[in-house]
Amino acid sequence: MEVPTDGASVRFEARAMGSQLRLIFGGTAIRAAEADGLWRTVVDEFERAEAAMSRFRDTSELTALNRAAGSATVEHPSSRLRRALVAADRAHRITGGRFDPRVLADLDRLGYRGAVLDRPAGAERQGDGRPLHRRSFGGRVVEGTGRGSLTIARPIDLGGIGKGLALRWAAAILGRNGARDFLLEAGGDLVACGDDQDGVPWQLGIEDPAGGDDLAVIAISDLAVATSSVRVHRWRVGDDADGRVVHHLLDPRTGEPGGDGIVAVTVVGPDPAWAEVWSKVLFLAGRGAIADEARSRGLAAWWVSDDGALEMTAAARARTIWVAAEAS
């Protein structure tokens, strides 16, 4: 997702959760001191979210929980980690297991490594590094979500849903502090509230994963956008140039990269965490099933196939104000 670059708007940028973090104010003019203060609240919220949910930080709460997976209980988790695990567990149930954060061992195996853990539960492998067998994980993502303790059976990656939750929480803080017109973006996922600096809904580009010009432009207000794409997190495994190309969007049923025939999916919805969940579920559906899946759920979704073709649902077309000639 491409955000506006109009130099007339008040905007801030930083790095957070492994992504570019941006805040752009629209609507009526905002005082510099007020804008600076609001930006600091966003940066602080993302720092607290990362300290709770990052699988890359050696000192994060999630890393401590993953190290205890299958053998111990973590006492007194923060409200952020507890809420994130509850959200991941609910997403797992609602999607029938197609969203499942318990793929960390497979991400590590494929080379997308985070903080060092002891040998993860369920990591038995055959000689070529692939799983000996796969089975449905079943059960709940987290066994205990009380204020006193947490227990998980397998290490988890909160990745995309964690970023979506951080956006949800930061946007809520901005709203409570009086911000009404803003666009908050983290690595392509975003929340767009109110209007842009021209007093109209925010206009955003659907990027070409191959690096060309935008494939479409959409207009949204008071909505969230999430994109699942292999444009960035895509690499080759093996010791030579003949190794297979993999990506980070794993099918929990196989432990392997999914989404045959798809390179990017964008979903617009009322909440950034749920937009992230549905973008991943749709991606894993693959080219043959994504249209039926998206339409049956009434989702506003755009997807790009590996041949560069852009398709969308009727709900997405209603929010699309421009489509490139080659994509239409």
Average pLDDT over residues 24-39: 90
- Distance (Å, rounded) from C-alpha 3 to C-alpha 22? 9
Q: Which pLDDT value is given to residue 326?
A: 64
Convert the pLDDT of each residue in 114-173 to its tens digit. 999 975 444 444 444 445 444 456 688 988 766 788 899 999 999 999 999 999 999 999
Q: Which pLDDT value is given to residue 121?
A: 45
Convert the pLDDT of each residue in 201-248 to its tens digit. 999 999 999 888 999 999 999 999 999 999 888 888 876 566 788 999
Average pLDDT over residues 258-278: 97
pLDDT top residue among 129 and 81? 81
Is the predicted pLDDT of residue 46 greater than 90, yes or no? yes
- Distance (Å, rounded) from C-alpha 101 to C-alpha 123? 15
CA distances (Å), 318 to each of 168, 276, 300, 311, 313, in order? 24, 20, 9, 13, 9
Q: Residues 89, 141: contact at Cβ < 8 Å? A: yes
Q: Which pLDDT value is given to residue 297?
A: 95
Convert the pLDDT of each residue in 57-79 to its tens digit. 999 999 999 999 988 888 889 99
pLDDT band at residue 28 using 50, 70 and 90 as cut-offs? confident
Average pLDDT over residues 278-307: 97
Q: Which pLDDT value is given to residue 120?
A: 47
Q: Residues 196, 181: contact at Cβ < 8 Å? A: yes
Per-residue tokens: 306: 């590996």
Q: Which pLDDT value is given to residue 134?
A: 47
Q: Which pLDDT value is given to residue 240?
A: 58
Is the predicted pLDDT of residue 111 greater than 70, yes or no? yes
Q: Taking the alpha carbons of 146, 151, 154, 157 in that order, is the dihedral positive or negative?
A: positive
Share of the chain above pLDDT 90, in %: 73
> Domains, the chain, ranges and CATH?
61-157 (1.10.3980), 201-323 (3.10.520.10)
Q: Which pLDDT value is given to residue 242?
A: 67
- Distance (Å, rounded) from C-alpha 28 to C-alpha 198? 9
Q: What is the value of pTM for the model shown?
A: 0.91
Q: Which pLDDT value is given to residue 10?
A: 83
CA distances (Å), 51 to each of 58, 142, 165, 169, in order? 10, 19, 13, 14
Q: Which pLDDT value is given to residue 252?
A: 95
Per-residue tokens: 186: 């983290």
> What's at 185, amino acid-wise?
E
Average pLDDT over residues 261-268: 97
Average pLDDT over residues 34-49: 97
Q: Residues 226, 276: contact at Cβ < 8 Å? A: yes
Rounded to a whole number, what is the largest CA-CA distance in the chain?
A: 62
Q: 219: closest CA among 9, 12, 26?
A: 26
Q: Give burial (CB, 10 Å; 0-12/13-18/19+) of 325.
A: exposed
